Chains A and B, each alone.
Chain A
């Protein structure tokens, strides 16, 4: 079945550091890929998405590129802020599917 694997957390960085959170997936077809973010005490919010190979999703300084050849969708940000501290979830959905398949989440803490 479909699955999503994210890098183990927690990840702790200093403010203005470069961020990468790895995400790889297994799918039978050509899924759409998503990154969601969960701030403390809140539900998940869509951060960005990509629906086909080589698409780049971007939002709030975060970027991720749909790499079909490596089945990856790594999340990057050039300069993180304390306000980026949250849990980040990579997810996929197959065309016609009824559900998102989520990774286990990566907790990110940014220190000032």
Chain B
């Protein structure tokens, strides 16, 4: 139990569907992150939130839309995805931004498959 919970664990959707991924952390952390993990590629940082404010968007296509209503919850809204978006999406949190040497705590991820 890492203190970071992601739902759903698995998601299959068509390219025209709209769905959302949810992340919740019970650690009292201030920073939250979305990563994409594809086979045979390094982890790709997508978004960073600090105190509910987005501080980084790593050139992510607009078909991915993050939302952070409070420091404990982070969503990733998905619409009109492409087959190459199939991947494991990982959420992480840290006490403060990672540059202060704070470790990141990861959820178990959502395995997304686009048909």
A contact set with B: CB distance below 8 Å: 32, 34, 36, 41-46, 49, 51, 89, 93-100, 102-105
* Contact indicator A93/B101 (Cβ below 8 Å): yes
* Contact indicator A49/B103 (Cβ below 8 Å): yes
Contacts A93-B98, A99-B56 given; indicate if A43 touches B108 (C-beta within 8 A): yes
Contact with A along B20-63 (1 / 0, CB 8 A): 00000000000001000000111101001010000110100000
Residues of chain B within 8 A (CB-CB) of A41 are: 108
* Contact indicator B108/A98 (Cβ below 8 Å): no
* Contact indicator B42/A93 (Cβ below 8 Å): no
* Contact indicator A97/B99 (Cβ below 8 Å): yes
Question: Quick one: which of B41, B48, B108, B109 contacts A99, CB cutoff 8 A?
Answer: B48
Q: Which residue of A lies closest to B90 (CB)?
A: A43
8 cross-chain pairs, A with B, having the tightest CB-CB distances, nearest first: A43-B106, A97-B99, A46-B103, A102-B43, A44-B106, A96-B99, A104-B42, A43-B108
Residues of chain A within 8 A (CB-CB) of B100 are: 95
B104 close to A (CB within 8 Å): yes
Contact with A along B90-115 (1 / 0, CB 8 A): 10100001111101111111000000
* Contact indicator B56/A89 (Cβ below 8 Å): no
Residues of chain B within 8 A (CB-CB) of A100 are: 45, 98, 104
Q: Can you list 10 pairs linking A and B with CB atoms under 8 Å apart?
A: A36-B106, A43-B6, A44-B92, A49-B103, A51-B101, A95-B100, A100-B98, A100-B104, A102-B42, A105-B42
Which of B90, B103, B108, B109 has the most CB atoms of chain A within a 10 A radius of its CB?
B103
Q: Which residue of A lies closest to B99 (CB)?
A: A97
Q: How far apart are the CA atoms of A45 and B4 in the complex, in Å?
A: 11
Residues of chain B within 8 A (CB-CB) of A94 are: 99
